[in-house]
Amino acid sequence: MKQMPWWVWLITVVVVVAAFVAGVLMGARGPADTPGTDDGNGGVPPTGTVEPTGTPAAEDTMQVRVYLARGDRLGALAREVPRSEAVATAAMTALLEGPTAQEQAWGFGSQIPAGTTLRGVTIAGGTARVDLSGSYDDGGGTLSVTMRLAQVVYTLTQFETVERVEFYMDGAKIDVFTGEGVMLDEPSTRGDASFEDVLPAIFAEAPTPGAVITSPLRVWGTSNTFEATYAVRVENAAGEMIAEHWGMATSGSGTRGTFDATITFDMPAAGTSGTVIFFEESAKDGSEINIVEIPVVFGP
């Protein structure tokens, strides 16, 4: 047998070593990064958007939250939308569609002017830059303007990658919004003082209306109540109480705090309706005040 030339051996060794090193580096890095998306969210799935209980979304869909007006206060809703890596864009598109017929029956509406369209969303460094069509600033008084801004800010900041929102219209950054003279020269956050005017005293983020719930049930949100107290009652279809929880948020009495609790109860028949009721007990006379009712369905 003819002996292999020395230079062939050398090339073989170099190739083998290079392959080994590449494999080690790939293993340390893990799978390749998700390609960039049109909203800069890098394929990060929604955080805090999927109901803690209930039927999971189908493989080709995902759940996001949209924030609509419920009377003169903000409310949270879950929407099932086509699955996409551009989750912020998907959530904004769902928001601009306005309330469904069922959501209208629950008392939801929108202060975003009809015909407003999304021109784009980009996210970088915790800031979402949302570009809307010029009709976004059409008409409305102070309450309407504050609500439409809150709807967008809360919808976008549901995601871990977004801490603040900058507004643009038709490609131009907004510094003064509408004839009401609302200043937007700084990015908007959930903590903006003006949003307190459109938030309910008890802002329930979970469960959302129409959620399929089971026991134990996680309830969470924010509140600004006397001495930070709040209560939650679960009722069956007949309006009978099957569970009640009393708790305290992280702050209250003029400062909005957070609450997060788990409630256990004996499950009613699967498929029957129920209500999760958030309220505060009046320090004056013990009556229930700041009531927020969330219609739900009991799961299997």
Structure confidence by residue, pLDDT tens digits, 95-141: 999 999 999 999 999 999 999 999 999 999 999 999 999 999 999 99
Q: Which two tokens stand for residue 56?
A: 């999971």
Cβ neighbours of residue 242 under 8 Å, at least 6 residues apart? 234, 235, 236, 265, 266, 268, 274
The structure's pTM equals: 0.81
At residue 59, the pLDDT reads 80
Structure confidence by residue, pLDDT tens digits, 277-286: 999 999 999 9
SS3 205: strand
Structure confidence by residue, pLDDT tens digits, 73-100: 999 999 999 999 999 999 999 999 999 9
Structure confidence by residue, pLDDT tens digits, 228-271: 999 999 999 999 999 999 999 999 999 999 999 999 999 999 99
Q: Please state the three-class secondary structure of 35-78 as a single string.
A: CCCCCCCCCCCCCCCCCCCCCCCCCCEEEEEEEEEECCEEEEEE
**Domain 202-298: which CATH number of 2.60.40.2550, 2.60.40.10, 1.10.240.10, 3.50.50.60:** 2.60.40.2550
Cβ neighbours of residue 187 under 8 Å, at least 6 residues apart? 127, 164, 165, 166
Q: Is 281 exposed, middle or buried (0-12, 13-18, 19+ CB in 10 A)?
A: middle
Q: Are 30 and 23 in contact (CB under 8 A)?
A: no
Domain map (residue ranges) of the chain: 61-198, 202-298
